[in-house]
Amino acid sequence: MSYLTKSPWIIHYDASSCNGCDIEVLAALTPVYDVERFGIINTGNPKHADIFLVTGSVNEQNREILKNTYDQIPDPKVVIAVGICAASGGIFRECYNVMGGIDKVIPVDVWVPGCAARPESIIDGVVKALGILEEKRKAMKRPAGDTA
């Protein structure tokens, strides 16, 4: 096991969430769940992050910001879409300004369902993402063209 899975730092971005999922994300940092037990830190800086945690649907106003933040995270990185809005647009899907789920703009690795997603399932999603992160790190080490 690499160090990457022991120290995943998260950047949390609220695309256009109703704040329900955001409150649950922050709940995971409180003494009840205390994700720092697993070395998880909620950093506000994409350049220090390994995991991009997005809540809410993407709209015409913030698609650039979402893409820009994603591009600033150094490889290897994974994206977690938290809540039904981040997955498909949720109840905001039909709004004139909403594009839909965040996979319209950036590649998503893990989907966490729920409205709002519970802290337990968010933590579960992060643990799932760690496996993908590890695979991406190994792929980074391989020379280009080697798919084995």
Partner 1 sequence: MIPDPWTAVLNAVIYLLLAPVAGGLIAGIDRKITARMQGRVGPPLLQPFYDVGKLFEKENLVVTTTQNFYVLSYLVFMAVSGALFFSGGDMLLVIFAFTLSHIFLVLGAYAAFSPYSHVGAERELIQIIAYEPMIIITAAGMYMVTKSFYVSDIIQSAVPVVLYLPGVFIGYLIVLTIKLRKSPFDLSTSHHAHQELVKGVTTDFAGPNLAKIEIAHWYEYVFLLGVVYLFFGFNPLLAIAAIIIAYFLEILIDNTTSRVKWQMTLRSAWLVAGTLGIINLGVLYYLRMVIVP
Choice from 18, 63, 69, 72 touching partner 1 (CB under 8 A): 72
Rounded least distance, CB 35 to partner 1, Å: 10
Whether residue 116 has a cis bond before it, omega within 30° of 0: yes
Q: Does residue 79 sit in helix, strand or coil?
A: strand
Instruction: CB nearer to partner 1: give 74 or 131.
Output: 74
Total number of residues binding partner 1 (CB under 8 A)? 25
Choice from 10, 13, 25, 50 touching partner 1 (CB under 8 A): 50
CB-neighbour burial class of residue 148 (10 A; exposed 0-12, middle 13-18, buried 19+): exposed
Question: Given the rule CB under 8 A, which residues bind partner 1?
Answer: 2-4, 6-8, 31, 34, 36-39, 41, 43-45, 47-48, 50, 72, 74-76, 137, 140
